[in-house]
Amino acid sequence: MDAVSDIKARLNIEDVIGEYVRLKRTGRSYKGLSPFTSEKTPSFVVSPEKNIWHDFSSGKGGDMFSFIMEVESVDFKGALELLARKAGVDLDKYQANSGQKQSKDPLYKILEDATHFYQKSLLKNKKALDYLSKQRKFSKQTIIDFLIGYSPAGGRELIDYLMSKNHKMIDIVKVGLVSKYNNENQDMFRGRIMLPLADSFGRVIGFTARLLDDKPNAPKYINTPSTILYDKSRHVYGLHLAKQEIKKQGFSVVVEGNLDVVSSHQVGIKNVVAIAGTALTKYQTKILAGLSENIRLGFDQDRAGLKAAERSLEVVADQSVNLCMITVPKGQDPDELIQKDPKLWREAIDNYDYAIDWIIKKYMQDFDLSSPIGKKNFGASITDVLKKIKDPIEQEHYINVVSEHSGISSSALGARIAQISQSENVRPLKSVKNKAEDNNKLNIEIKKSIDQILAIMFFVPTTRQLACDLTPDALKTAEQKAVFDFLRTNLTAKPAQVISNLTDYKELSEFENYVKILAVNFEELFQDIETLELQYEAQRLKNKIVEQYVRAKKLTISIELKGADPKKERTLLEQSGKLDKMLKSKKV
């Protein structure tokens, strides 16, 4: 058994994907909202029986490894590492056989050893322990759960420790644990409380460090710089400890301070996480939305917090997310509320406002709506917010709300929004950019249509002859072409026999996952349809593929015509003419 097979044998695909997508059982499969599109109706399917997933909205699909590669933005090696850790599989024994070594393993090991070093250093420093246990009131178990430690104030204590563990200096530098002083290597973090930053599987990828002693001109907090493992725009602090509770409670709470997360978890409010920066990023939003579409922000109540809420609203505008705001008493943070009484923090979380309502209230408090200047400035600020609402019905609702409370007519607000949108849309070459984007969407639609017609052809042999005059040029991927070629030369092969003996068919054996995806397509879309109707459906799909194929090609030609010389222009126009004839004949 190889490493991949071992991992698949230990992990259930629905459990792996369920950490990112809220799944509900429907018969033998599970369904959820796509993590890759902004769909409203669930079309993301997971089949435990086939150990496969397929997203009907984006056309993507595969096994648990391909899913992790997509959602974590890692290559196959990265997915293998993550899933091996989750499954408890020791990759070393497989790597010893293959003579290969995972390139990031030494980096993770350095951070693991650094974490242990900081934990041991904490036990030796009474002041650091008193700060955590007496001032912050963290229990011993909380300190252990969050792997909190202390970095000694000396110059090279961590570096010397890691070198004694046979780690290479070049790798210690790579993970952000070294700084230069007088052209010499020193510990990056000195005299600080250390909070390890972990990925969604609990593996340390960096640190947040809080200054223990007050020092003039020294920043209170510093983070690991961007490294091969850590990117603050993609990281959510505390996620590995919060994700199950987020799914259980049906919402996540996002705060600004990592120590606020620690305090919150200690009092049993464990669906709380933190972000580095002043607003949610698209990547962070996707991660959280995969656990629950309900996100509540507990940002500061000042001007910076208001702007962060606006930026977050813009980020989630094209995602299926319900963004809400928690009102924390001015000048306080969640940790201070918890220190007074944990009930105060629970009440603040429960008394949330929809983000747009919260922002409108804040702006109404900031401006004097009884004066013309105040009303004008309020209108300018609030329309910048209202234009970010993508849904026209929701936008109209809030235009009316603002109009009612401010005295500004809804028509004036609408005109201002239209004016802003129009000015933002005046950009050079935008039409070319949109055509390219349209072309990409078309290619996705073509791939989905081809998946569907191949699913029918595979499981209903009587339809194979009907669709076999499609040319491979219309097919988008190697796996589609392989299955198509097989079906075209095996018109009577029985699907059940092919699937049960897939390894006997050399042309299909390396595309086992894709054959399973076709099976999911057929079960979800066509299983209950009569054979005669499926023949009509295959013909309809064939015509649709021709239309999509021609449209995609013509969009490409229209883009290439921009700036083409006369000779190239003639060639492109000839190609366009051939495509027109192809469309009329409905035959690729």
Question: Tens digits of per-residue pLDDT, 516-529?
Answer: 999 999 999 998 89
**For the chain, how many residues are written?**
588
To which residue do tokens 């000396």 refer?
154
Residues 6+ apart with CB under 8 A from 499: 515, 519
Q: What is the pLDDT of residues 472-482, one digit of tens each?
A: 677 878 898 88
To which residue do tokens 């650091």 refer?
128
Asked if 167 and 102 touch (Cβ cutoff 8 Å), the reply is no
Top pLDDT among 236 and 444 is at: 236
Top pLDDT among 580 and 110 is at: 110
Top pLDDT among 431 and 14 is at: 14
pLDDT band at 506 (very low <50, low <70, confident <90, very high): confident
Mean pLDDT along residues 37-59: 92
Residue 424: the pLDDT is: 53
- DSSP-derived secondary structure letter, 13: H
- DSSP-derived secondary structure letter, 132: I
Using only C-alpha atoms, the chain has a radius of gyration, in whole angstroms, of: 29
Q: What is the pLDDT of residues 347-382, one digit of tens each?
A: 999 999 998 898 888 888 888 888 888 888 888 888
Backbone angles phi, psi at 429, to 5 degrees: 65, 15
Asked if 311 and 290 touch (Cβ cutoff 8 Å), the reply is no
Backbone angles phi, psi at 180, to 5 degrees: -100, 135
Element (H, E) at 205: strand 204-211
Residue 98: the pLDDT is: 52
- Specify burial of residue 533 (Cβ count, 10 A radius: 0-12, 13-18, 19+): exposed
Query: What's at 320, amino acid-wise?
Result: S
Residue 250's SS3 state is: coil
- Report domain extents, the chain: 3-98, 105-230, 234-360, 367-425, 430-585
Q: Within 10 Å of residue 193's Cβ, how many Cβ atoms?
A: 23
To the question of domain 105-230 being in CATH 3.90.980.10, the answer is yes
Residue 161: the pLDDT is: 96
Asked if 151 and 192 touch (Cβ cutoff 8 Å), the reply is yes
Distance of alpha carbon 151 from alpha carbon 251, whole angstroms? 35
Please tell me the CATH superfamily of domain 3-98, with its number.
Answer: Zinc finger, CHC2-typedomain (3.90.580.10)
Q: Which of 16, 3, 12 is nearest to 72 (CA)?
A: 16
Asked if 318 and 38 touch (Cβ cutoff 8 Å), the reply is yes
To which residue do tokens 């083409």 refer?
564
Residue 148 has pLDDT above 90, yes or no: yes
Beta bridge partners of 206: 197
Residue 428 has pLDDT above 50, yes or no: no
Q: Which of 251, 262, 302 is nearest to 278 (CA)?
A: 302
Distances (CA, A) of 48 to 15, 18, 26, 392, 393: 10, 12, 12, 39, 39
Residue 435: the pLDDT is: 38
- Specify burial of residue 343 (Cβ count, 10 A radius: 0-12, 13-18, 19+): exposed
Lowest mean pLDDT among 27-41, 104-118, 250-264: 27-41
pLDDT band at 464 (very low <50, low <70, confident <90, very high): confident
> Diameter of the chain by CA atoms?
83
Residue 308 has pLDDT above 60, yes or no: yes
Instruction: Evaluate the CA torsion angle 374, 380, 384, 385 in order and state its sign.
Output: positive
Q: What is the per-residue DSSP string for 15-83?
A: HHHHTTS--EEETTEEEE--SSS--SS--EEEETTTTEEEETTT--EE-HHHHHHHHHT--HHHHHHHH
CATH class of 234-360: alpha beta
